[in-house]
């Protein structure tokens, strides 16, 4: 008979929680592998995200699933891995009480910022592109 090992309930308190190669590569625990509550509710997609997913030909949020609304210095913000920094949510955006809705707004803001002329990578492209 195979003995079933009881999981250590303090695992994430006592370790970095990075088990898979992907988690080790990105240096981040992928929470939705264990908690289905972290998977986005597609009924809460913003109109912009619906259009974006359709335009891209995707069936899901793909790389946006682990984007969540966070806080930097007490202000709502979303983390942009491309610039390794926080992007503040504009003060004129009223945030809903529901975390899923807040995360959808964060995803939308991140995409819009990454496509805007204000994104730092636009300056790098201008400075270093060959054509």
How far is the CA of 91 from the CAs of 14, 26, 82, 113, in angstroms?
Answer: 38, 31, 23, 15
pLDDT digits (tens, 9 = 90+) for 64-109: 877 888 888 889 999 998 888 899 999 999 999 988 899 999 999 9
Q: Beta-carbon neighbour count of residue 47 at 10 Å?
A: 8
Q: Is the full-model pTM beyond 0.95?
A: no
- How far is Cα 76 from Cα 123, in angstroms, rounded to an integer? 25
């Amino acid at each position: 008979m195979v003995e079933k090992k009881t999981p250590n309930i303090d695992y994430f308190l006592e370790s970095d929680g990075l088990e898979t190669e992907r988690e080790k590569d990105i240096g981040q625990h992928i929470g939705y592998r264990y908690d289905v509550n972290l998977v986005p509710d597609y009924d809460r997609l913003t109109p912009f995200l619906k259009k974006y997913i359709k335009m891209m030909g995707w069936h899901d949020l793909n790389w946006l699933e682990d984007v969540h609304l966070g806080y930097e210095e007490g202000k709502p913000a979303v983390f942009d891995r491309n610039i390794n920094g926080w992007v503040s949510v504009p003060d004129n955006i009223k945030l809903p009480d529901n975390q899923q809705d807040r995360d959808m707004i964060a995803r939308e803001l991140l995409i819009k910022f990454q496509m805007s002329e204000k994104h730092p990578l636009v300056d790098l492209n201008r400075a270093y592109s060959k054509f």
